[in-house]
Amino acid sequence: MSNTTTKPDRIDRAVEIIRAGNKILKVDYYSNGGQVWFVESSDAKKNYRVTEQGCTCPDARNGICKHQWATAGANAAMLIFKMRQAGGLLALFEMAELHAAALAGLPVGFLRVARDEYRQAKTRLIERITFDKGVAA
């Protein structure tokens, strides 16, 4: 996970995988506490092996892929998805506070993206408030 950038649609696609409920085929646990998931490809022709550190899909070479977001980073993916839809600052703050504990222990790459998404959502909402006040004046 050396590259922590994310395409805007990776989170949305990860949420689709999570909500489908049948794309994550198997989870194995290792004695050292690590996990490995097997996730069905979009075309259902193969399965990708996914860990917190990587995925066997071609997109994983470009950063955290949708399969990693849907498994190891599922809590962060769901939070980011909700933050993008937040209608106000209070809702955003409450969301972040509610999900903070669930993010503890995630690899730093997931946390960086979640933090950046939080900052973008906060900026977007502040700009909207500022714009609305300017229009009302």
Q: How far apart are CA 79 and CA 11, in angstroms?
A: 10
User: What is the per-residue pLDDT across 41-82, written as a single tens digit (0 to 9) for each?
Assistant: 988 899 999 998 899 999 999 999 999 999 999 999 999 999
Q: Is the model's pLDDT at 124 over the cut of 80? A: yes
For position 22, what pLDDT does the model report? 85
pLDDT band, residue 30 (cuts 50/70/90): confident
Cα-Cα-Cα-Cα torsion 23, 55, 33, 112, nearest 10 degrees, comes to -100
Averaged pLDDT for residues 97-116: 89
Determine if residue 44 is left, alpha or beta; phi over 0 gives left, psi from -120 to 50 gives alpha, anything else beta.
Answer: left
Q: Is the model's pLDDT at 4 over the cut of 50? A: no
Strand ordering across the sheet containing 35-40:
24-29, 35-40, 47-50
| Residue 116 near residue 63 (C-beta atoms within 8 A) | no
User: Mean pLDDT in the chain?
Assistant: 87
Averaged pLDDT for residues 78-107: 90
Averaged pLDDT for residues 74-97: 92
The three-state secondary structure class of 86 is coil
Gap between the terminal Cα atoms of the chain:
47
| Residue 114 near residue 108 (C-beta atoms within 8 A) | no
pLDDT band, residue 128 (cuts 50/70/90): confident
For position 100, what pLDDT does the model report? 85
